[in-house]
Amino acid sequence: MINKSLGFLLSILFLSLLNQVHVSAHNYVPRNIDIERSPKNILIGSYVGGRSHLKPMLDIAAILTERGHNIILLASGSYEQSSEYPGLKQITLGPRLTVEDSKDGIENLDDFRIMAEFMKIRANIYNKIYEKYMNTAKEYNIDLFFCDGFANEACLDVANNLKIPVVGFTAFLLLIDPKPYKSDPFLGCNISLENESFFERFRCTLIQPLQVAFEFLSPRRQLIDARNQMNVKTDLERLPKLSLALIDTFFGFELPQTLPPNVQVIGPVMSEEYPPLTPELSDFINSNKRILYVAFGARLNTTTETNNKILQSLVEVINKKLVDGIIWKLPEASMDNLSPTLNLADGTQIQTLPIVNNEHPQFLITKFTPQFAILNHTNTKLFFNHGGVGSVHEALYTGTPILTLPFGNDQLGNAQKLKTAGVALSLDKHNLDVNDIVNKIDFLLKDEHVKKNSERMKFLARINSKRKYRAADLVEYILYSNSLLDKSVNDNFLKEWVPAEYRMGFIKANNLDIYGVLIGIILIFIGRITFKLIRYTLTRSSVKIKSKKA
Ligand SMILES: *[C@@H]1O[C@H](CO)[C@@H](O)[C@H](O)[C@H]1NC(C)=O
Ligand SMILES: *[C@@H]1O[C@H](CO)[C@@H](O)[C@H](O)[C@H]1NC(C)=O
Ligand SMILES: *[C@@H]1O[C@H](CO)[C@@H](O)[C@H](O)[C@H]1NC(C)=O
Ligand SMILES: *[C@@H]1O[C@H](CO)[C@@H](O)[C@H](O)[C@H]1NC(C)=O
């Protein structure tokens, strides 16, 4: 029996080998992978501008430029790093907006309220921005809008008005595809509602959204007025139409969820090249084996109290020999926000000026840091950061664990996501405590799970970083299919990827009407039975009463 089946297996093996020999005798010719393309004009629009918003978009644009398309950037401020993207043409939308800069990092409102403030400012200059987009689109004969998804309605509105396809870009998935089981500290709740109590889910599902809607009532009103002035046709509540949304994140860091096909997760978008270490940094990193790299957002102005606590913690971790080198990126504005002396936990007093002046051998304090190259170095063991998405991607890509001190916006949610992924711990800016910082640094440096999780994230970030080419492919597909659209029937761009549920509406798409009828039928049925039962008992009792009387 065994012999028989063995013989059978061997003969199959033999046959398949024979088959392979047979097949490879053919002369193979390459599959044709060429696609038809002609140069198009693409407008990248960002209302807030700035490196963190523009860089990933420009990394995708760099691929499109290489493929022969023309890119025009329309963004606030002037993009300082345009030398990174030679040939890029920028038109400015005006000076950069600074709600955050005007206040210090700690006292800032850290949730949707600051966004509402921001929206008000934006509504006030909507008309100006709208005209800029419109004029640029006409002047450069734009074929596709590539819009930063944040506070950038004018970009979408102009594209929709001109019937030009528009691709949205954001790192904040919640903005594009909210789910009932996900939220964000930005909205006053945790990132996941999976393990929250009923009351917490009730609060996050009904009460918080009402509060958010209330806060946005007046900025939204202003925006609608501004739109009416410009004769922009948009329904009151419907967001402007995106042909495709590209999300600069990846599942593993982002909590998993289902997505419609026209929402594509394509991050982390990383550049091909990064600036190398300066000789000074290179010497420092190579002569110390365990580096802690500290950098908060460039636009963040930390208070003296915060800076003192951070510096004290850094000195403590050096004294405890948890690390042997610290690189601290300290902006000029923050350098003055430091007390001249600090008291350590063991009672000794230290002078801060020598440290800031780089006289302490284990400190390197600088204004400019080639961040990726520092994180990329094997001696960099931990990243102490505010949790901005660009920095987070670089840390995950290089497998560096993170201690986050989130200040606001998406940073609080990022900190929670990193913690859930097991690669980070986070601090509370309202409750900063030196002991807490030291203990968390100690834990992150020593814990085996953190090391393994960081390696896992590194692999995932690396394979996913290739998806920027897919992002460029999809933009090209929209451009190409657009040229084949039948304009007379008011075709939608990329309609082949829009699930029917968006056309059917919430009730029909979820068959709620059918369930409604079913519940109705059941209720009628129950009602009739109850009615009959009541009548039956009533007649019985009345019979009894009658018979008693008789
Ligand atoms: C969020 O999660 C943390 C634990 O990670 C928990 O302590 C907290 O109560 C949760 N809820 C809110 C609103 O932060
Ligand atoms: C919720 O709890 C379950 C069971 O303990 C766990 O598997 C899951 O990861 C938790 N979810 C989150 C978002 O922490
Ligand atoms: C940073 O804060 C200090 C006071 O804490 C202030 O003097 C300084 O002007 C601020 N800098 C910026 C750029 O906002
Ligand atoms: C990152 O590290 C690798 C080796 O680990 C090196 O080849 C590469 O040049 C480094 N890149 C940067 C930007 O430092």
Mutate to test the pocket of ligand 2, among 191, 195, 417, 418 (most ligand atoms within 8 A of CB): 195
DSSP H helices in 172-324: 173-176, 198-202, 208-229, 279-287, 304-319
Residue identified by tokens 């990243």 is 383
Pairing of strands 144-148, 166-170: parallel
Q: Do 476 and 243 touch, CB atoms closer than 8 A?
A: no
Going by alpha carbons, the residue nearest to atom 6 of ligand 2 is 195
The CB of 270 under 6 Å from ligand 4? The reply is no
| The model's pTM | 0.88
Q: What does the alpha-carbon distance between residue 189 and residue 51 come to, in Å, rounded to a whole number?
A: 28
Which residues form the pocket of ligand 3, taking CB atoms under 6 Å from any ligand atom? 101, 104, 301, 303, 333, 337
> Which tokens go with 393?
């991607």
pLDDT digits (tens, 9 = 90+) for 240-284: 578 899 999 999 999 999 999 999 999 999 999 999 999 999 999
How far apart are the CA of 190 and the centre of ligand 1, in A?
6
Phi and psi at residue 247, to the nearest 5° = -110, 120
Q: Which H, E and C letters describe 188-220, residue by residue?
A: CCCCECCCCCHHHHHHHHHHHHHHHHHHHHHHH
pLDDT digits (tens, 9 = 90+) for 318-327: 999 999 999 9
Alpha carbons within 13 angstroms on the beta-carbon side of residue 208 total 19
Q: Do 396 and 423 touch, CB atoms closer than 8 A?
A: yes
How far apart are the CA of 294 and the centre of ligand 1, in A?
26
The CB of 372 under 6 Å from ligand 4? The reply is yes
How far apart are the CA of 377 and the centre of ligand 4, in A?
7
Q: What does the alpha-carbon distance between residue 68 and residue 144 come to, in Å, rounded to a whole number?
A: 14
The CB of 376 under 6 Å from ligand 4? The reply is yes
Q: What does the alpha-carbon distance between residue 434 and residue 314 come to, in Å, rounded to a whole number?
A: 9
For ligand 4, what atom is nearest to the CA of residue 372? Answer: 13
The CB of 307 under 6 Å from ligand 1? The reply is no
Kindly state the helix (H) or strand (E) to which residue 450 belongs, with its residue range.
helix 448-464
Going by alpha carbons, the residue nearest to atom 7 of ligand 1 is 190
pLDDT for the residue 101: 45
- Nearest ligand to residue 303 Cα: 3
DSSP annotation of 379 reads: T
**Closest C-alpha among 274, 254, 272 to residue 392:** 254
Which residues form the pocket of ligand 2, taking CB atoms under 6 Å from any ligand atom? 192, 194-195, 420
The CB of 274 under 6 Å from ligand 4? The reply is yes
pLDDT digits (tens, 9 = 90+) for 493-539: 888 888 888 888 889 999 999 999 999 999 999 999 999 999 999 88
Strand order in 263-265's β-sheet? 89-92, 70-75, 41-46, 144-148, 166-170, 244-247, 263-265
Confidence of residue 488 (pLDDT cuts 50, 70, 90): low
